[in-house]
Amino acid sequence: MQDDSIPHLEKLTRASKVLEGITVIEQGTFITGPAAGMLLADLGANVIKVEQPGAGDPFRAFRGGLYSPHFQTYNRNKRSITLNTKDPDDAKVFDELILQADVYIQNFRPGAADRLGAGEKRLRELNPRLIYCAISGFGQTGPAAGRPAYDTVAQAASGFLNLLVNPANPRVVGPAIADSLTGFYAAYGILGALVERARTGVGRSVEVSMLEAMCHFNLDAFTHFFADGDVMGPYSRPSVSQSYTLRCSDGRWVALHMSSPEKFWRGLAAAIERPTLFDDPRYATREGRIQHQEQLIGLLGGIFATRTRDEWCARLTAEDVPHAPMYDTSEALEDAQARHLELEIEGHHPVLGEWRTVRSPVSFDGVRPTHVVPPPILGEHNDEVRAELAIARAASRSVASSKE
Q: Average the pLDDT over 295-314 and give the result.
A: 98
Task: Provide the pLDDT confidence category of residue 251 given band limits of 50, 70 and 90.
Answer: very high
> What is residue 401's predicted lDDT score, i.e. its pLDDT?
73
3-state SS of 162-208 is HHCCCCCCCCCCCCCHHHHHHHHHHHHHHHHHHHHHHHHCCCCEEEE
Q: Average the pLDDT over 211-220 and give the result.
A: 98
Tell me the per-residue pLDDT of 118-146, one tens digit each, with 9 for 90 and over.
999 999 999 999 999 999 999 999 999 99
Measuring CA to CA, how many Å separate 357 from each of 49, 69, 371, 381? 19, 11, 11, 21
d(CA 360, CA 369): 6
| 179 is annotated as an active-site residue | yes
Nearest residue to 324 via CA among 310, 344, 305? 310
- Amino acid present at 225: F
d(CA 208, CA 1): 41
d(CA 348, CA 382): 19
The per-residue pLDDT of the chain, averaged, comes to 94
Q: What share of the chain is helix, strand, coil (3-state, %, to 5)?
A: 45, 15, 40
pTM listed for this prediction: 0.94
Catalytic residue of the set 179, 328, 365, 383 = 179
d(CA 315, CA 320): 9
Residue 335 · residue 362 · CB < 8 Å: no
- Domains of the chain by range and CATH? 16-220+374-402 (3.40.50.10540), 236-325 (3.30.1540.10)
Alpha helices in 242-335 (DSSP H): 262-271, 286-291, 293-304, 309-318, 329-332
Tell me the per-residue pLDDT of 7-54, one tens digit each, with 9 for 90 and over.
545 555 566 799 999 999 999 999 999 999 999 999 999 999 999 999
64 backbone φψ class: left, alpha, beta (φ>0; ψ -120 to 50):
left
d(CA 37, CA 102): 12
- pLDDT of 103 above 60: yes
Q: What are phi and psi of 187, to 5 degrees?
A: -65, -40
Tell me the per-residue pLDDT of 145-186, one tens digit each, with 9 for 90 and over.
999 999 999 999 999 999 999 999 999 999 999 999 999 999
